[in-house]
């Protein structure tokens, strides 16, 4: 765990001292957009036109934010259009690496051993955390974006004329509602599990864990009367919730102390999670070995022994 300061790697755990034991997530540093015609998107610079085989995605199969992008790459049939590298699940004192291991896919672009080299290749004096996912432009040799929320919106529609399959998870009549529920779920659940797990005071932990379970209770009630978050169609909001739910019982309950209830204890959320997991192609984006190995071995302040628990057995394939 660490970060780049003026292009130099520094080994440093998250600093929660200044924030009363609370974990605060840093904003992503690269915020450009791939667009149909190469014009600038909602933020950043233009010049990134959608083209087949121009972009490369760097992910960790453990990471819920990166998992959003692998899901959209899969759903939109972009596997042959956007190439992909996968880091090793262990994130040690030099951050993410391409050390050999099952499921690791080396970096064909700059041949990096460490993920931070991808950041310094784009910006030699970069300062900030070295996170996945990253969308890289092979043409201009730079990072387009390292913000998953925006990368999935690019994948959703920008590549439709260059080989993506049909499918729109952000229908224009529902964007306002999707943005609203995304904000609620991001704060209380997606980031809420991290706020719970990385809290270093009792008070910060309790605030986060209570907000998290209140939010899960709210969604459990919502799913009692409709199949998906926005009704009867699957949208971006469902996929953003899915990546946290699928990791919840295996990792967040134990490792992050999100243990008031498990997802399997919520009949509606548990059925919903299985429903999404069983959408064709989705289970291929879920690598439970990388997920468990990453969290339990990388966060040594939380799990100093690095022992990875054997269970739980979770029947994601059971009919819903």
Ligand X SMILES: N[C@@H](CCC(=O)N[C@@H](CS)C(=O)NCC(=O)O)C(=O)O
* Catalytic residue (one of 14, 55, 114, 194): 194
Q: What minimum distance in Å lies between the beta carbon of 146 and ligand X?
A: 6
17 is in an annotated binding site: no
Instruction: Pick between residue 273 and residue 291 the one whose CB is nearest to ligand X.
Output: 291
96 is in an annotated binding site: yes
Q: What minimum distance in Å lies between the beta carbon of 266 and ligand X?
A: 24
Q: Is 173 exposed, middle or buried (0-12, 13-18, 19+ CB in 10 A)?
A: exposed
132 is in an annotated binding site: yes
- Tell me, yes or no, if 63 is annotated catalytic: yes
Q: Is 63 exposed, middle or buried (0-12, 13-18, 19+ CB in 10 A)?
A: buried
Q: What minimum distance in Å lies between the beta carbon of 21 and ligand X?
A: 18
Instruction: Pick between residue 87 and residue 204 the one whose CB is nearest to ligand X.
Output: 87
Instruction: Pick between residue 24 and residue 180 the one whose CB is nearest to ligand X.
Output: 24
In the 8-state DSSP scheme, what is residue 37?
A: S
Contacting residues toward ligand X, per CB under 6 A: 1, 28, 60, 63, 65, 95, 129-133, 146-149
Residue in this structure with the two tokens 């993920």, named with its chain if needed: 115
Q: Are 49 and 139 in contact (CB under 8 A)?
A: no
Q: What minimum distance in Å lies between the beta carbon of 132 and ligand X?
A: 5
Dihedral sign, CA of 92, 98, 99, 101? Answer: positive
Closest CA to 135 of 101, 100, 159: 159
39 is in an annotated binding site: no
313 is in an annotated binding site: no
Instruction: Pick between residue 11 and residue 265 the one whose CB is nearest to ligand X.
Output: 11
DSSP H or E segment with residue 268: helix 267-277
Strands (E), the chain: 2-5, 8-11, 55-59, 83-86, 128-129, 134-137, 142-145
Q: What minimum distance in Å lies between the beta carbon of 133 and ligand X?
A: 6
Cα separation values, 214 from 22, 218, 225, 226, 231, Å: 19, 6, 18, 19, 21
Residue in this structure with the two tokens 């040594």, named with its chain if needed: 300
Instruction: Pick between residue 129 and residue 255 the one whose CB is nearest to ligand X.
Output: 129
CA–CA gap between residue 132 and residue 102 (Å, rounded): 18
- Tell me, yes or no, if 194 is annotated catalytic: yes
Partners of 136 in the beta sheet? Answer: 56, 143
* Catalytic residue (one of 14, 55, 58, 63): 63
Annotated binding site: 96, 129-132, 147-148
Catalytic residues: 63, 194
């Amino acid at each position: 765990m660490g970060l780049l300061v003026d292009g130099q790697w520094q080994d440093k755990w998250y600093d929660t001292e200044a924030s009363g034991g609370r974990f605060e997530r840093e904003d992503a540093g690269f915020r450009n957009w791939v667009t149909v015609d190469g014009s600038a998107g909602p933020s950043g610079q233009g010049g990134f036109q959608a083209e087949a085989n121009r972009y490369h995605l760097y992910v960790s199969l453990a990471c819920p934010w990166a998992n959003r992008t692998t899901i959209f790459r899969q759903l939109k049939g972009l596997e042959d259009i956007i190439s992909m590298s996968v880091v090793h699940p262990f994130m040690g004192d030099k951050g993410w690496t391409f050390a050999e291991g099952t499921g690791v896919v080396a970096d064909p672009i700059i041949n990096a051993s460490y993920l931070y080299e991808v950041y310094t290749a784009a910006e030699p004096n970069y300062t900030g955390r070295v996170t996945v996912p990253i969308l890289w432009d092979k043409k201009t040799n730079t990072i387009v974006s390292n913000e998953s929320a925006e990368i999935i919106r690019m994948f959703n529609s920008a590549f439709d004329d260059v080989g993506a399959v049909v499918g729109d998870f952000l229908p224009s009549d529902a964007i306002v509602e999707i943005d609203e529920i995304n904000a609620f779920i991001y704060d209380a659940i997606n980031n809420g599990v991290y706020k719970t797990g990385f809290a270093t005071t009792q008070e910060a932990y309790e605030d986060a864990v209570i907000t998290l379970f209140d939010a899960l209770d709210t969604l459990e009630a919502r799913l009692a009367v409709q199949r998906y978050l926005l009704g009867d169609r699957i949208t971006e909001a469902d996929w953003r919730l899915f990546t946290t739910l699928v990791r919840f019982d295996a990792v967040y309950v134990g490792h992050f102390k999100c243990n008031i209830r498990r997802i399997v204890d919520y009949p509606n959320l548990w059925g919903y999670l299985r429903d999404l997991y069983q959408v064709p192609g989705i289970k291929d984006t879920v690598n439970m070995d990388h997920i468990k190995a990453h969290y339990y071995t990388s966060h040594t302040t939380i799990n100093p022994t690095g022992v990875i628990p054997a269970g739980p057995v979770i029947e994601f394939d059971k009919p819903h």
